[in-house]
A and B are shown apart, each in its own frame.
Chain A
Amino acid sequence: MSFNLLKSNYFGEYLGFHAENIPDKIALTDINGQITYRELYNKSRRVAGLLNHAGISKGERIIIALGNTIEQMYFHYGAILGGYISVPLSSGLSKTRLQSYIDDSGAACIVKKEAIYDRSHKIIAELDILESSEYICSPRKLDDVATIMYTTGSTGNQKGVMLSHNNLIAALDHIISYIGYSGNERELVILPISHSFALGHVYSNNIMGGYVHLENGMNKMKRVFNAFYKYQITGMPSTPSMVNLFTERYLEAFKGVADKLNYMVVNTAPLPPESTVKLLSVIPKLRLMIYYGLTEASRSTFITLSDEDIVNYKSVGKASKGVKLKIIDGEVCISGKHLFNGYWNKEDETKSTLINGWMHTGDLGFIDSSGYLTITGRLKEQINIDGLKVTPQEVESALLKCKLVKDIAVVGVIDPLNNKHEVVAALIVSNNNKTDEAEFARKVRAHGGEVLEPYMVPEIIKITERIPRSESGKVLRKEVEKLLC
């Protein structure tokens, strides 16, 4: 018996449905253990009970930063079932970055590995009292915000994307319908579940009563390949750089696991056609799907590249059912029930992005006569590091605090040595005239490592005598790009 998502009274209702119908089926595994659907539902309701016991009011934001773990999922579900707003974040954030999210969201508490803390970092509950918490399931209404997913905005500040129960249900209906989840899938999720892409895959499998194994990134590749065998993985979400790693550096190991892999879903950045050709030559039977959609308009288009002619390999597909697309002045605009509710505490940015029911994505593109959407560039200046968004201004202002840096301009460039994907590059005017460029770059990167997330630290640094700027002082980024390539 499958759960009817579109008839949900609230997001997460499927947990109770599966706890009743398939209680002993394994829902999730991670590197430390496993959890059944019954346990997942019970633990989630106990989380709601714990938060209630801690005196936190409904609608408060709960930051959950436990990494790709089973605990992350039941705290996330529990917050939603308890009527709170879950704010999933990476477990590896620096103190400064975490504090900026706490300040922006006004979170009532932060769930970390050791305990639950309040805004002033005082422990308000140990996680081991979870087992004695009461069961609570009192979610808010369908139009209420269930979760805030953070994304980096064009101004360099993070933006909290508010998603209601209804938004989540509509977006997940797109992916479940398109992929055709049956509940028999066995997915491997390596990408961070603090982001919409990977989290959506966990949701989809949980909604249909399927199974997901969670790995914490690709640092231990032997463990990742062992997981393919051990858990008999049939599908996975992936990124273009992961595809490149699988088909280049780890090709021999990947071939060994490929026979059981039925499908792969790629998102976060366009998959270069040559990568598609190579992947399909390694696994000819693979159903290779791409979808397009920002956190604000998740799963808006889909395409199955393995069913398409090579001329369509650059496309991100056609609009999902119930989704409308149009191009306004070259910009891709999206409409549908899945659109986010707005940015948390950012009314102006919400108004300039959500106009008359259309989300203005900031992406440039075109729709052909068959309805296929192709993305051609970015209206805004964000740099896309394998799905993680970096704004030049954020990196510039952080590195300008380094005493060696007099002036700086940051852009994204394609690094041919780095699997052909985009990297952060900086053109810098040094404060010291007699600087050795390699030593200078090392020191600037070391400073960057202290104040920025690792993926934001420029991989390419070149010294220049002046930054190209317009008369009004605006950085001429195209010229900067030429000087860095």
Chain B
Amino acid sequence: MSIEKIFYRIIVSSLGVERDQINEETGPGDIPQWDSLGHQGLLTALEKEFGFVFTIDEVLDMETVEELIEIIERHVT
């Protein structure tokens, strides 16, 4: 399964949303479920799934799904 597919599986499950509520431009705060607590839960779930820890710069700079997937790809490829 591609990183992108795994990512969407996790974000849908972690935030409790439908897949069509999320696209590559979506970011924290854009939908009610992706609030600060939802964001932390998502980051933890992604770290657990992909086996790495986001750096502080990555966490602060990440603003969209697209950027988040790019960060994951840098870590795991």
Contact = CB atoms under 8 A, between A and B. Distances in A.
Task: Say whether A and B bind each other.
Answer: yes
Contact of A220 (B13, B32, B38, B63): B63
Given A221-B60, A253-B56, A448-B16, A454 B29 contact: no
A386 interface: yes
Interface string B43-62: 11000000000001001110
Nearest to B53: A249
Given A220-B63, A225-B60, A253-B56, A418 B37 contact: yes
Contacts of B13: 438, 441-442
A449 B17 contact: yes
- How many chain A residues sit at the interface, stated as a range, is 20 to 34
Nearest to A226: B60
A250 B61 CA distance: 12
Interface string A430-446: 00000000100110011
Contacts of B27: 219
A213 to B, nearest CB: 17
B40 A92 contact: no
Interface in A203-227: 216-222, 225
Interface in A99-142: none
Contact of A442 (B16, B29, B37, B61): B16
Contacts of A217: 29, 35-36
A372 to B, nearest CB: 30
- How many chain B residues sit at the interface, stated as a range, is 20 to 34
A265 B47 CA distance: 31
Given A92-B32, A417-B44, A442 B12 contact: yes
Contact of A419 (B12, B39, B40, B61): B40
B39 A455 contact: no
Nearest to A251: B56
A119 B36 CA distance: 32
Interface string B9-43: 00011001110000000011100111111111101
A483 interface: no
Given A217-B35, A220-B29, A457-B33, A418 B40 contact: yes
A252 interface: yes
A394 interface: no
Interface in A223-271: 225, 241, 245, 249-253
Nearest to B60: A222
A446 B16 contact: yes
Contacts of A386: 37
Contact of B29 (A219, A253, A418, A459): A219
Given A220-B63, A221-B59, A417-B44, A446 B18 contact: yes
Interface in A277-311: none
A195 to B, nearest CB: 15
Contacts of A442: 12-13, 16
Contacts of B60: 221-222, 225, 250, 253
A93 to B, nearest CB: 9
A455 B39 CA distance: 12
Given A222-B61, A253-B56, A253-B60, A449 B39 contact: no
A251 B34 CA distance: 22
B16 A449 contact: yes
Contacts of A457: 16, 33
A271 to B, nearest CB: 17
B35 A418 contact: no
A217 B16 CA distance: 20
Q: Which of A218, A245, A253, A418 has the most CB of B within 10 A?
A: A218
B56 A252 contact: yes
B16 A249 contact: no
A417 B35 CA distance: 17
Nearest to B55: A252
Contacts of A385: 37
B28 A249 contact: no
Interface of A: 92, 94, 216-222, 225, 241, 245, 249-253, 385-386, 417-419, 438, 441-442, 445-446, 448-449, 453-455, 457, 459
Given A219-B28, A219-B39, A442-B16, 10 more contacts: A219-B29, A219-B36, A221-B60, A241-B37, A249-B43, A417-B41, A441-B13, A445-B16, A454-B38, A457-B33
23 contacts: A217-B36, A219-B27, A219-B34, A219-B35, A219-B36, A220-B63, A222-B61, A245-B36, A245-B40, A249-B59, A250-B59, A250-B60, A251-B56, A385-B37, A418-B37, A418-B41, A438-B13, A441-B13, A442-B16, A446-B16, A454-B35, A455-B37, A457-B16
Interface of B: 12-13, 16-18, 27-29, 32-41, 43-44, 56, 59-61, 63
